[in-house]
A and B are shown apart, each in its own frame.
Chain A
């Protein structure tokens, strides 16, 4: 009933044995075929065929041997390389040393004392979060106790006889989770004969959250609060970030809870290309050695494409490496077959074969990309930087060998170098709608321009882009064009790009302003309904003058509203709005920007607190600049 999955690793591997992998039926077949042949030949035994039979028999035994060998290699191939090459020491980990150190320090602190703590590991998938924990635990002899979501299908299958057990076992996942935590925390494992000593210390690992928590994060928090009070061993949560916006770590562990529970959070970066290259080349070298020369060490160029295609996901990189080498070997085998069958054929054939090989070599990079390619994605911060910094190919680097089409002299001022990045691709990778991306661009573009004439053109392009996407019926089709116009317009109009160095980026202010504008208008209308005025004259005439009059208001809300909206601070100094800085790994908060003209009443509940923090304060004289400088995003 209580699913303690202790020593979890061994169970699935045994299961694997029971289930016959689909690929292994091949050797048994190849075994049976020669046997039957043999039998037939014995039946038809004739002395004149003796010599030939002997030869055949020899060849049969040969093939048998080879098939056996093949079987063993196939067994090997069934096991994913990701599992086979799980790192066993810190040196093998592809994670940055400092990150490992961080986790290690935490573990040291929290395993020495008898009081446990909670650690939260976040990061994109496949960046080695789990592997780090496993390795570190292995090194210090900690037993990892992992929670896996129970599947209760088996209760339904054998329903008849133990239906009475049902009510006992069909507790909710939530209760089971709580139970698990309690027991794992309280009790040590039973000491089996084979167990060595010193395994009494352990660590609880949760990667797989019961679904209920996503719906009601509060229930998780309650459980954790209870856990913290009695905790004796460290508890580690691993949450993968996703780029598509819904970051479950923020949902499950909001900042208040992190502070309340004294929860330590370590965020992993995607695996750096250099580290990944090291791992990949090591694996491919070992595999090449194992295959006994039949499989060559993979081309560094291939590894490189795998690396770049996986965008920092080492798991997918290893998987695609395995996959690519699979196709490789089969290709080779078939080539061998060709060679055997047509032994002693002309040299021309061989030449054609090498041609084929060459061709396949050439095609390889794209194929690999197709196989292992993960959708590359950009953090918003970098995507914006790519557009705003406007990197162009340096003109002196490219050879003037092929003359580019030159613009006629009267248009020569429109000439620009070719772009480094395709703007459409950048927008696509930022996982945002074009419109939203444009807002971000609009918020930030002025910092990157030095000439007013350029600004004029850029702002015109932004205005054009908005015009394209204004009609909601055609927005789905026009959105792409809109973002194209905006990004390309910005890129082109920035004629005198000065290297501006690092600039902080900000979140668009427009959304808040627009929302506030709408809310205020609605409030004005509902509060001052008795004046029976149209909204425009109400907002532009009545309210500002009401602020100047000593008219007794009917209620407190009206007074507050007039003070807030009717008056403006007329200080001489230009007030700067406090802006929300955009942090480097910020995901696009897709505050679903509802069609303004379609639904007036829909409100976004999410942005409320952010709003109050960053609203302009009309009463305060000087809003201090709250610009947080973001440190450069280091990719390793």
Chain B
């Protein structure tokens, strides 16, 4: 039994549930016979990968769905071995080069070269190019992105690239200009609701519209999350009730509790406890920037209007440091300390104002 997310994933451009005109455009693009490099971007859970896989199916037919997971070893010029996992069919190769850390340049060059150098055998019946799908392009180092730009031009005849990222801001200009950019926006609440209802119908379940709405709002229109939530609801209680609690992930609850702890008391001792909680989150594989984001959203709920701007500013400042710096805990803790100090001062000022 696979997850609903995987089970009911649309497999052709025609079956996509939302952004239908974009799907039609992509269909036209394929029918032209050739297509340029693509840069697909949009927030996570909007269906980028689904859309790409549909596109590939449109290009090559059902053969694309025969996937195999390969474990490749690439030897860098410095004789260092890099191991990386790829997902491939006969027609395409999917790889997440940022897995290789800062050796990603080598990975990109080597992989694309090997793919591009092997010609399709029967070019009369098939497309004369293969597709390399690179995910998380925004996490690539600048080095790798520049290497990518050269590689893109060199192997244009035998190979097309589809780049997939959450935002274009970290993709360098030359690459952006060489690709056709396709933005996949998040679905609207109604669209999420309709997807949820249709999935539940296929499962033979009855989903009350109130619950569907609640789920879609809680998931922030992230369809993957919404479907997972829905499935968790199913496990939690069936038949569904309209005012059912939608289960959240443990770490989200944990972050909220941490935020509450920060707001309820501001002292060095409390900071020490918060640090322990941050460590706990980190050991549970939650990336530091996500922790930061979660904390800020929770903290902002507790803030007054004036304070909000300041807190957001500090959060942006330390989030930037998180990206630049090396050890996340310094910056997370500095942010928490900063917030504590600001909040404490704000509360004391407020008390003074009340007294006089």
Give me the interface of A with B, judged by CB distance under 8 Å: 439, 442, 446-447, 449-453, 455-456, 458-460, 462-463, 465-467, 469-470, 509-510, 513-514, 516-517, 520-521, 524-526, 529-532, 534-537, 539-545, 547-552, 565-568, 570, 574-577, 596-601, 615-616, 618
Contact B267 A452 (CB under 8 A): yes
List A contacts of B273 (CB < 8 A).
574, 576
CA distance A599 to B100 in the complex (A): 9
B27: interface (CB < 8 Å): no
Contact B283 A446 (CB under 8 A): no
| Known A-B contacts A446-B272, A531-B6, A537-B224; A466 and B326 likewise in contact (beta carbons under 8 Å) | yes
CA distance A277 to B121 in the complex (A): 89
Contact A574 B283 (CB under 8 A): no
4 more A-B residue pairs beyond the given contacts A532-B87, A566-B284, A576-B276, with a C-beta to C-beta distance below 8 A: A463-B333, A510-B279, A539-B287, A600-B100
List A contacts of B281 (CB < 8 A).
568
Contact B235 A549 (CB under 8 A): yes
- Which 7 pairs across A and B sit closest by C-beta, in order of nearness? A544-B249, A545-B228, A456-B341, A463-B334, A459-B334, A568-B250, A459-B337
List B contacts of A513 (CB < 8 A).
279, 282-283, 329
Distance between A444 CB and nearest chain B CB, rounded to angstroms:
10
Contact B290 A536 (CB under 8 A): yes
List A contacts of B252 (CB < 8 A).
544
CA distance A465 to B330 in the complex (A): 9
B142: interface (CB < 8 Å): no
CA distance A516 to B273 in the complex (A): 20
Contact A463 B231 (CB under 8 A): no
CA distance A345 to B340 in the complex (A): 81
Most buried by B among A463, A530, A539, A618: A463
List A contacts of B1 (CB < 8 A).
551-552
Q: Mark B88-115, 1 if CB is under 8 A from A, else 0.
A: 0000001010011110000000000000
Distance between B180 CB and nearest chain A CB, rounded to angstroms:
22
CA distance A544 to B287 in the complex (A): 14
List B contacts of A542 (CB < 8 A).
224, 228
Partner of B99, one of A450, A516, A525, A596: A525
CA distance A568 to B276 in the complex (A): 13
Distance between A618 CB and nearest chain B CB, rounded to angstroms:
8
Partner of A536, one of B44, B283, B331: B44
CA distance A447 to B45 in the complex (A): 43
Interface-located stretch among B145-153, B185-193, B303-311, B317-325: B317-325
| Known A-B contacts A450-B268, A574-B277, A616-B279; A460 and B338 likewise in contact (beta carbons under 8 Å) | yes
Can you pick out 20 interface pairs between chain A and chain B where the beta carbons lie within 8 Å of each other?
A447-B272, A453-B341, A456-B334, A459-B330, A460-B337, A462-B334, A463-B325, A469-B326, A534-B135, A535-B136, A540-B290, A541-B222, A548-B232, A568-B250, A568-B281, A570-B254, A570-B257, A574-B273, A577-B279, A616-B279
B266: interface (CB < 8 Å): yes
List A contacts of B321 (CB < 8 A).
463, 466-467
CA distance A544 to B294 in the complex (A): 15
Distance between B226 CB and nearest chain A CB, rounded to angstroms:
10
Partner of A551, one of B3, B283, B325: B3
B155: interface (CB < 8 Å): no
Q: Mark B263-305, 1 if CB is under 8 A from A, else 0.
A: 0001111011101110111111111001000000000000000
Closest A residue to B164 by beta carbon equals A534
List A contacts of B290 (CB < 8 A).
536, 540
CA distance A554 to B333 in the complex (A): 39
Partner of B333, one of A453, A459, A600: A459
Closest A residue to B228 by beta carbon equals A545
CA distance A482 to B280 in the complex (A): 27
Size class of B's contact patch? 35 or more
Distance between A175 CB and nearest chain B CB, rounded to angstroms:
39
For the complex, would chain B's binding face be called helix, strand, loop or mixed by DSSP majority? Answer: helix
Contact B231 A577 (CB under 8 A): no
Contact A466 B331 (CB under 8 A): yes
Most buried by A among B44, B277, B286, B326: B326
List A contacts of B99 (CB < 8 A).
525, 535
| Known A-B contacts A536-B287, A565-B285, A575-B276; A452 and B324 likewise in contact (beta carbons under 8 Å) | no
The B234-273 residues at the A interface (CB cut-off 8 A) are 235-236, 247, 249-254, 257, 261, 266-269, 271-273
Distance between B105 CB and nearest chain A CB, rounded to angstroms:
13
Contact A541 B326 (CB under 8 A): no
Partner of A516, one of B44, B236, B283: B283
CA distance A450 to B269 in the complex (A): 9
B199: interface (CB < 8 Å): no
Contact A446 B285 (CB under 8 A): no
CA distance A536 to B43 in the complex (A): 12
B85: interface (CB < 8 Å): yes
| Known A-B contacts A469-B326, A574-B273; A568 and B280 likewise in contact (beta carbons under 8 Å) | yes
Contact B250 A547 (CB under 8 A): yes
Give me the interface of B with A, judged by CB distance under 8 Å: 1, 3, 6, 44-45, 49, 67, 69, 83, 85, 87, 94, 96, 99-102, 135-136, 222, 224-225, 228-229, 231-232, 235-236, 247, 249-254, 257, 261, 266-269, 271-273, 275-277, 279-287, 290, 318, 321, 324-327, 329-331, 333-334, 337-338, 340-341, 344
Closest A residue to B101 by beta carbon equals A600
List A contacts of B324 (CB < 8 A).
467, 470
Most buried by B among A458, A513, A520, A596: A513
| Known A-B contacts A455-B271, A520-B285, A568-B254; A467 and B101 likewise in contact (beta carbons under 8 Å) | no
Contact B268 A570 (CB under 8 A): no
Contact A534 B96 (CB under 8 A): yes
Contact B341 A452 (CB under 8 A): yes
Contact B44 A537 (CB under 8 A): yes
List B contacts of A460 (CB < 8 A).
334, 337-338
Contact A544 B261 (CB under 8 A): no
Contact A539 B337 (CB under 8 A): no
CA distance A469 to B224 in the complex (A): 38
List B contacts of A530 (CB < 8 A).
69
CA distance A616 to B344 in the complex (A): 30
CA distance A459 to B278 in the complex (A): 15
Closest B residue to A475 by beta carbon equals B326
Contact A540 B247 (CB under 8 A): no
Closest B residue to A572 by beta carbon equals B257
CA distance A330 to B44 in the complex (A): 83
| Known A-B contacts A520-B285, A540-B290, A616-B279; A548 and B247 likewise in contact (beta carbons under 8 Å) | yes
Contact A466 B327 (CB under 8 A): yes
Closest B residue to A577 by beta carbon equals B276
Distance between B233 CB and nearest chain A CB, rounded to angstroms:
10
CA distance A525 to B100 in the complex (A): 13
Partner of A463, one of B228, B235, B318: B318
CA distance A106 to B3 in the complex (A): 69
Contact B284 A568 (CB under 8 A): yes
| Known A-B contacts A452-B337, A459-B330, A529-B69; A467 and B287 likewise in contact (beta carbons under 8 Å) | no
Partner of A541, one of B224, B236, B254, B287: B224
Closest A residue to B248 by beta carbon equals A544
List A contacts of B249 (CB < 8 A).
540-541, 544-545, 548
Distance between A507 CB and nearest chain B CB, rounded to angstroms:
13
CA distance A462 to B331 in the complex (A): 8
Contact B102 A597 (CB under 8 A): yes
Closest A residue to B266 by beta carbon equals A452
Partner of A570, one of B253, B275, B282: B253
Most buried by B among A509, A516, A548: A548
| Known A-B contacts A545-B249, A616-B279; A521 and B340 likewise in contact (beta carbons under 8 Å) | no
CA distance A453 to B342 in the complex (A): 9
Distance between B10 CB and nearest chain A CB, rounded to angstroms:
15
CA distance A172 to B239 in the complex (A): 79
Contact A470 B287 (CB under 8 A): no
Partner of A470, one of B279, B280, B283, B326: B326
